[in-house]
Homo-oligomer: A and B are copies of this chain.
Amino acid sequence: MSEKKIVIIGGVAGGATAAARLRRLDERAHIVILERSGYVSYANCGLPYYVGGTITDRSKLTLQTPESFRARFNIDVHVHQEAVSIDRAQQVVHVRNLEDKSTYDEPYDELILSPGARAVVPPLPGVDSERLFTLRTVEDTFAIHDFIERAQAKRATVVGAGFIGLEMTENLCERGIDVTLVQRDPQAMLPIDADMAPFVHNELRRNGVELHLNATVTGFVEKDDALVTQLADGQKFAADLVILAIGVTPDSTLAKDAGLELGLRGSIRVDEHLRTSDSHIFAVGDAIEVRHVVTGRPALIALAGPANKQGRIAADNICGRKTTFTGSQGSSVLKLFDLTITSTGLNARQAAQVGIDFDAVVLSPASHATYYPGAGSMTLKVLFERSGERRGRIIGAQIVGTDGADKRIDVLATAIRAQMGASDLTELDLAYAPPYSSAKDPVNMAGYLIENILDGLVKQVSWGEATNLPEDAVLVDVRTPGEVARGGIEGSLRIPLDELRDRTGELPRDKTLYVHCQSGLRSYVACRMLSQLGFSCANVAGGYGFYAASALDRALAGNAAGPCGMVS
């Protein structure tokens, strides 16, 4: 084997994985990692949990050290080393030692760029305050943690309600800190659709978070031992510290300066072997442009899973193994207090953007057979192609719920990867016993619902459509009186499903009936009955449970909640 020298810039997920795989494939190669921060291969996704105290041991965040990497893999790990520029002609990286400010050259035969992404910091007034933090590295984490301890922080403002913003919100609450969460968009957690977001909003408020949506930050002002976040509408929130978590951007300066071809939003463009436009330079992780599995189009997907896979593939190709990275579909999961929020593939906004004619089903299954104790609930939305050659193909899924949400999203992610359609979902032979599932798993059920729509057995409308109807539209609620007593929609005709067959005389035959129940299943049974009896009807997707989450969200919007802790 060659004794080639491979330099890796960035020693976290993708870079560290690449280094380990390189060593396994080539015992003789000279492998060098240059890492700007003081840590390599650290528990990136665990950082918020150190702030919250779920992880208390600093060493757990930094399980691998330069020394352990050397001992196991014979890799030269240099921390606090910043790659300043790349001389592609000479195959040399110019490096600055951040400890003594010296500079030197690191020659390479093959180079892997794993620079990651940077936290976006807009040029707002006051953004350089020492009370304002972003979270990306171990050092960031320790800085936030130490500031909180030192300042005995009681109040925090989190700007941005994406992954990092929500994880930080939860963890700050876990420490007993009051959190104001400010989000520019009308919803938190953009990977899920607007109609799923109310569950997230309600969970935040239930745990005492003061949530402000549609809120644009104009700047920050230090005042009286606090940092005041100012909104465009004039609102101001004073806090001991501010976490800015409005997103990340590919850290591609080095690649750009070296003249490498760039892609979407300044990301590094690579081929399927993760090779950049320079045949001796590979790139992996959050900084690169990938192919989206569902659309086939370029996408930016900054997640740890793909980064790890990519590191291995870059190493393979450097060692002559022609493996390929075939794309990502953005599968993600987030714990938010008692909720699991998870999605894969395209959401409605993304599907519309690429011009896919799609529809979606919404269901609210239990996590396992309800006669066995401890079943959790979830709301599951599955998007599918409504027309064309791939009619019925599953293109995306989202779940907000408790137990079992992560299981179903992974099954759906696998189904999407396999290009499955609705009937494939119905056929999946999943493992069932009462403590784990139902004989018809929620994924099977989603398939059935989609089939029924595609086969024309039922017409479906969303709550958005059902509550914006002409005056003469008729809403029919087929839930039991007990359920209705706990909440219902004004003006609905109320006939329990089990009485419906005998009471059709109460329903108008000249109008469309918009039928709902709690989750959408009984109303589907009602629609089948009614349509065969000559009524015009449509099933309202998601049922009253879905409507109620949204209604609660609207009712509470703008209402300040108390300090962290249950308010319900």
Contacts and interface: CB of A to CB of B under 8 A. Distances in A.
Interface of A: 1, 13, 20, 23-28, 43, 45-46, 49, 54-55, 60-61, 63, 68, 71-74, 293, 303-309, 312, 321, 323, 326, 328-335, 340, 342-344, 369, 371-373, 406-407, 409-411, 413-415, 417-418, 420, 423-424, 426-437, 439-441, 444, 448, 455, 457, 497-499, 501, 524-525, 528-529, 532-533
Which of A72, A306, A437 has the largest count of B CB atoms less than 10 A from its CB?
A: A72
Chain copies in complex = 2
Contacts of A373: 54-55
A497 B69 CA distance: 12
B305 A13 contact: no
A330 to B, nearest CB: 7
Contact of A418 (B26, B304, B418): B418
28 contacts: A13-B439, A20-B525, A23-B528, A24-B525, A24-B528, A26-B532, A27-B529, A27-B533, A45-B369, A46-B372, A55-B372, A61-B371, A68-B498, A304-B439, A305-B432, A305-B440, A309-B426, A309-B440, A312-B448, A321-B455, A328-B429, A331-B430, A331-B432, A334-B433, A344-B429, A410-B411, A410-B441, A413-B431
Contact of A420 (B332, B413, B418): B418
The listed residue with most B CB atoms (<10 A of its CB), out of A43, A434, A498, is A434
Nearest to A409: B431
Contacts of A43: 369, 371, 434
Contact of A332 (B344, B431, B440): B431
Contact of A431 (B323, B410, B529): B410
Given A61-B371, A415-B414, A417-B428, A439 B332 contact: no
B332 A371 contact: no
Contacts of A309: 426-427, 440, 444
A335 B28 contact: no
Nearest to A48: B434
A46 B369 contact: yes
Nearest to A533: B27
A440 B304 CA distance: 9
Given A72-B497, A321-B455, A330-B429, 16 more contacts: A13-B439, A24-B457, A45-B433, A49-B434, A68-B498, A72-B498, A305-B439, A328-B429, A331-B430, A331-B432, A333-B431, A343-B431, A406-B437, A407-B410, A414-B415, A414-B418
A430 to B, nearest CB: 5
A406 B406 CA distance: 11
B431 A331 contact: yes
A543 to B, nearest CB: 17
A407 B430 CA distance: 10
A525 B414 CA distance: 29
Interface centre among A413, A428, A431 (most CB of B within 10 A): A431
Contact of A528 (B25, B60, B436, B501): B25
Contacts of A13: 439
A568 to B, nearest CB: 23
A409 B317 CA distance: 31
A298 B424 CA distance: 21
A442 to B, nearest CB: 11
Could you say which of A61, A371, A415, A417 has the most chain B C-beta atoms within 10 Å of its C-beta? A371
A24 B526 CA distance: 9
Contacts of A409: 431
A421 to B, nearest CB: 12
B333 A429 contact: no
A335 B61 contact: no
Contact of A432 (B20, B45, B499, B525): B45
A484 B403 CA distance: 37
Pairs of residues from A and B, 6 with the lowest C-beta to C-beta distance, nearest first = A418-B418, A27-B532, A333-B431, A71-B498, A407-B407, A24-B528
A369 B27 CA distance: 28
Contacts of A304: 432, 439
Given A54-B373, A415-B414, A434 B74 contact: no
Contacts of A457: 24-25
A44 to B, nearest CB: 9
A63 B331 CA distance: 37
A407 to B, nearest CB: 4
Given A46-B372, A372-B49, A418-B418, A435 B335 contact: yes
A46 B434 contact: yes
Contacts of A54: 372-373
Given A27-B532, A407-B407, A532-B1, A55 B429 contact: no
A433 B436 CA distance: 21
Contacts of A497: 72
